[in-house]
Structure 1
């Protein structure tokens, strides 16, 4: 009888341990996606230079996570991933606010560019933080309206999920292209990319273990591939004499 009770207690302890680990993993998932941007945020704050960071990363992430939130209304995946989307949107707004502040303080020309100019040449290169908020509102409201109308269509909901995760999978692409264009990774936080790599590997394993929708797993694998490519650029351009002089 005593051994039976002891076994039951042991199983209960193991169950509690797994429950605690699962809760910790969920907490890491919620905030972990935003943590890689802390080193980049601090670097911009310290150097007052945004040249090495592509703000189009913010565009990709906010669009992807707005679509993910809409996807949740059609296909209820884990609340953890929903909260992660909200945290990421807030983090990207903070990054944009800092970039706008730094760029405006360094701006020499009196000419400003705003979303109301309707000039495609300066898309996502506006001077006011409020311009980005206007764009996000103009993007979110029609998408939410269409989602509400087509919420009963499983084809639409699945397509929305793939579109959301495809956008997120391309997260590192703007940074990769900027590095390629500059032939340099100067100004980009390597810590940010290493944290991307760690986080993307963790969440890909999380998606697989929790049997999340296929869209999430494919997204994670694609992000790991892009992260590896950017890390390769870091090694490649460090050998570039021009980069050494900068």
Structure 2
């Protein structure tokens, strides 16, 4: 009985967080409008979970949490695709991005994939070079956790700039 409970709990830990964003994605698809959900939330979750996967190579943790990271990355890639597909065109009076190289504001999904591929190559290369050092593994885990702890920040900033919570599902907020 205890083993079955452990399996069910592990499946819940792995699948629960990615499923939070299904309602958000469905809402965007139904309205054909991604206004209100910050693409930076996807960035935070993708970066932190890629780092957590590399951290797992050096400091094994529960397999359910590794699966959660992989599923969150996949869910955020799908949500990012949906966000880009239903993004409203910027008006000519809209503020231009002040980010260097328009970081994470690119118009084409392929640019996000290319950047993430480069990010993974850099992380894996640094792991090959520095993976034997515990300080590197610890730092990688610390950065991944610290980044993920900032998850509400991009959405809060987006809501503040727009002076609205329109488009953000309460189920996503609750999750």
TM-score, normalising length: structure 2: 0.91
Aligned equivalents of 1:148 and 1:173: distance in 2?
32
Counterpart among 148, 151, 156 of residue 168 in structure 1: 148
Alpha carbons of 1:42 and 1:168: their partners in 2 closer, same or farther (altered >3 Å)?
same
Alpha carbons of 1:170 and 1:108: their partners in 2 closer, same or farther (altered >3 Å)?
closer
Greater relative contact order (CA < 8 Å, ≥ 6 in sequence): 2
CA shift, 1:127, in A, is: 1.3
CA shift, 1:108, in A, is: 7.8
TM-score, normalising length: structure 1: 0.65
Other structure's SS at 1:96 match: helix
Q: Which runs of 5+ in 2 are unaligned?
A: 92-98
Tell me whether 1:124 sits opposite 2:104 in the alignment: yes
Aligned to 2:14: 30
Aligned to 2:139: 159
Other structure's SS at 1:35 match: helix
Aligned equivalents of 1:129 and 1:148: distance in 2?
29
The number of residue pairs the alignment matches comes to: 168
Q: Which runs of 5+ in 1 are unaligned?
A: 1-15, 110-118, 197-246
CA shift, 1:176, in A, is: 1.3
Structure with the greater alpha carbon radius of gyration: 1
Aligned equivalents of 2:146 and 2:90: distance in 1?
38
- Provide the aligned C-alpha RMSD in A: 1.5
Aligned equivalents of 1:24 and 1:33: distance in 2?
15
Aligned equivalents of 2:78 and 2:61: distance in 1?
27
Aligned equivalents of 1:165 and 1:75: distance in 2?
14
